[in-house]
Amino acid sequence: IKNDILDNLDLKIAIPTPHIPEVSKFLTFQNGHLRIKGKTPSGARGIDVGISGDTTVKVKSDSLAFFMDVEYDSPQGSSDKEWKFTGKTIHPWNHPVGIHWLDLTSLSIDIDEKKKSGTSTFDITVNAKTKVGSSSEMDVKVDVHETNGLITDAYFEMDGPIKLGEIPEINKIPEANKFTLTKLIVSEHGIEADSMIAGRATDLFAFHGSGWNLALTQKDFAITEIIPPLKNTPLKHIKFPFAAVMLSEQGLNKPYSELSKVGKDALKDIYSNPSESINIKPGVAFVAGFHPDHAGPMGKTVKGIGVKTEVLVMGEVTGIFGGSDTPKVTLLGKLSEGG
pLDDT in tens, 82-138: 889 999 999 999 999 999 999 999 999 999 988 877 788 899 999 999 999 999 999
CB 72 within 8 A of CB 82: yes
Residue, of 309 and 188, whose pLDDT is higher: 188
What's the CA gap between 169 and 181, in Å, rounded?
A: 16
CB 45 within 8 A of CB 38: yes
Please choose, from the candidates 92, 215, 91, 96, the residue with its C-alpha nearest in 3D space to the C-alpha of residue 155. 96
What's the CA gap between 265 and 192, in Å, rounded?
A: 9
- Against a cut of 0.75, is the pTM above it? yes
Res 74: pLDDT: 63
Res 234: pLDDT: 63
Give me the residues paired with residue 196 across strands.
Answer: 201
Residue type, 130: T
Cα 204 vs. chain centroid, distance in angstroms? 11
CB 85 within 8 A of CB 109: yes
Least confident of 127-131, 211-215, 308-312: 308-312
CB 317 within 8 A of CB 329: yes
The set of residues, in sequence order, having a beta carbon less than 8 Å from that of 235 and lying 6+ positions away, is: 223, 224
The set of residues, in sequence order, having a beta carbon less than 8 Å from that of 72 and lying 6+ positions away, is: 81, 82, 83, 84
What's the CA gap between 179 and 318, in Å, rounded?
A: 17
Task: Tell me the C-alpha to C-alpha distance, in Å, between residue 6 and each of 12, 69, 71, 95.
Answer: 15, 20, 20, 43
The set of residues, in sequence order, having a beta carbon less than 8 Å from that of 319 and lying 6+ positions away, is: 325, 326, 327, 328
Res 229 pLDDT > 80:
no
Please choose, from the candidates 244, 267, 251, 235, the residue with its C-alpha nearest in 3D space to the C-alpha of residue 197. 244
Torsion of CA 115, 118, 119, 125, to 10 degrees: 10
Res 336 pLDDT > 60:
no
pLDDT in tens, 240-299: 778 898 999 999 999 999 999 999 999 998 887 788 888 888 888 888 876 455 444 544
Please choose, from the candidates 65, 72, 3, the residue with its C-alpha nearest in 3D space to the C-alpha of residue 30. 65
| CB atoms closer than 10 angstroms to residue 337 | 7
Res 204 pLDDT > 70:
yes
Size (the chain), residues? 339
CB 182 within 8 A of CB 159: yes
Please choose, from the candidates 330, 306, 310, the residue with its C-alpha nearest in 3D space to the C-alpha of residue 319. 330
